[in-house]
Amino acid sequence: MVPSEIRALFAMVARPEVVSLAGGAPYVSALPLDAVGEMIGGLVAGKGAEVLQYGSAQGDEVLREHICEVMSLEGVQASADDVVVTVGAQQALDLITKIFVDPGDVILAEAPSYVGALGTFAAYQADVVHVPLDEAGLIPSALRETLAHLRAQGRRVKFLYTVPTFQNPAGVTLTTARRAQVLEICAEYDVLVVEDNPYGLLGFDGEPMRALRADDAERVIYLGSFSKTIASGLRVGWVLAPHAVRAKLVLAAESAILCPSNFSQLAVREYLATQPWREQIKDFRELYRSRRDAMLESLDQLMPDGCSWTRPAGGFFVWLTLPEGLDSKAMAPRAIAERVAYVPGTGFYADGTGQRHMRLSYCFPEPHRIREGVRRLAGVVEQEIRLRDTFGDTGSAASTGVQTPGPDVV
């Protein structure tokens, strides 16, 4: 597609009659907006001289202490001094890639992987090598094989990028047993791990998973975000890094933006200090759980034979695989004509594959809309299957590779 076609497509997705299962936008309307508004208004009126002023490049110190408290829910022990506040975790990704990656260096990433990370890695001309995952997350034996292969080739691997918990886009979670194996393998090959964990507190069952960072403070760089647990529009994320890396991150952040917004940072600080944030996260979990249920129930009932999908235990996304011979990218305009949107799988691979996959998100639409969206999608897939059976493969030409993500596919 050329840019004008993409724009036309996005314009159609934005129409109210289209059910979008494409976006990764959190349902911020579930926040107590009156209370949050009152809190922020009071903050500006009462502490405006600080809230509206430049801050430090590393980020507000009290906020960084709160961040350590939040990470402790996942077993992470950290000092506020090793945290850098960023403009969403996306900026952390950008700064880390800037610091570590020279053109041609290898970054390992799950197949599929987060589209926004792939975009950033491409911007720095990294060579992304995918490692497959399954329902239990990244496959350790595949990781080991890939590292051995790259070592034999004399390739330089800068880090493993992973979203271990409620992965974007696959919705799967790395098991506890595999976490230990992944850390062990990365230690053996002396490879850094970049753990991107925006969804970790949004699990539907039991306690939060223990972060990779909780078991290796020297090898793991941890990226966190308030985009999904408070509000994405604040653009407050962070990176927790070993001390020597943290110093470089602060210099890079300073050069890139001078300092993060005190207005956003102190809103988060005040929210964490004065609002029932743990209960709010519980409310978000219940909300997303009921939407996940609506999606899985509809998929179970309506999708034709030959389709399969993941069953996420948290987060925002289901990863769907189409029957052989179908192409999610070629199908996208036809789906939108039927008033349902998703993200084609190709965006989540750096190697041009992913045609048989798509990401479906349940985070934003109401449950009845999710059901209607899946009903429409099932109809489109059925029609594609009939076309395939009549005319053969429905595929488009080869993928054009990594797309820019766009905030719509966060």
> Residue from 221, 252, 343, 385 that binds a second copy (CB under 8 A)?
252
6 binds a second copy (CB under 8 A): no
Please say which residue, 268 or 381, places its beta carbon nearer to a second copy: 268
Give me the least distance between CB of 338 and a second copy, in Å please.
Answer: 26
Q: Which residue in 234, 295, 313, 360 binds a second copy (CB under 8 A)?
A: 234
Interface segment toward a second copy; rule CB under 8 A; list 141-149, 163-171, 230-238, 347-355: 230-238
The span of 134-142, 160-168, 246-254, 393-401 binding a second copy (CB under 8 A) equals 246-254
User: CA separation (Å) from 214 to 96, 180, 222?
Assistant: 20, 11, 10
Provide the minimum distance between the beta carbon of 316 and a second copy in the complex, in angstroms, as a whole number. 13
Of the candidate residues 258, 273, 337, 398, the single one contacting a second copy (CB under 8 A)? 258
Residue with tokens 């110093």: 247
Number of residues that bind a second copy (CB under 8 A): 62
86 phi and psi, to 5 degrees? -130, 170
Distance in Å, CB of 252 to a second copy, minimum: 7
Interface residue with a second copy, options 70, 76, 82, 91 (CB under 8 A): 91
Would you count residue 105 as binding a second copy (CB under 8 A)? no
Q: What is the CA radius of gyration of the chain?
A: 21
* 25-44 binders of a second copy (CB under 8 A): 25-26, 28-29, 31, 33-34, 36-38, 40-44
Contact status, residue 319 vs residue 340, Cβ threshold 8 Å: no
By CB under 8 A, residue 404 contacts a second copy: yes
Q: Is 263 in the site for a second copy (CB under 8 A)?
A: yes
Work out which of 5, 6, 14, 48 binds a second copy, going by CB under 8 A: 48
Using CB under 8 A as the binding rule, whether residue 52 contacts a second copy is answered as: yes
Which residue in the set 63, 87, 185, 370 belongs to the binding site for a second copy (CB under 8 A)? 87
* Stretch binding a second copy (CB under 8 A), from 53-61, 159-167, 169-177, 315-323: 53-61
Minimum distance from residue 211 beta carbon to a second copy (Å) = 22
Positions in the binding site for a second copy (CB under 8 A): 25-26, 28-29, 31, 33-34, 36-38, 40-46, 48-57, 87-88, 90-91, 94, 116, 119-120, 123, 227, 231-235, 251-252, 254-264, 267, 404-408, 410
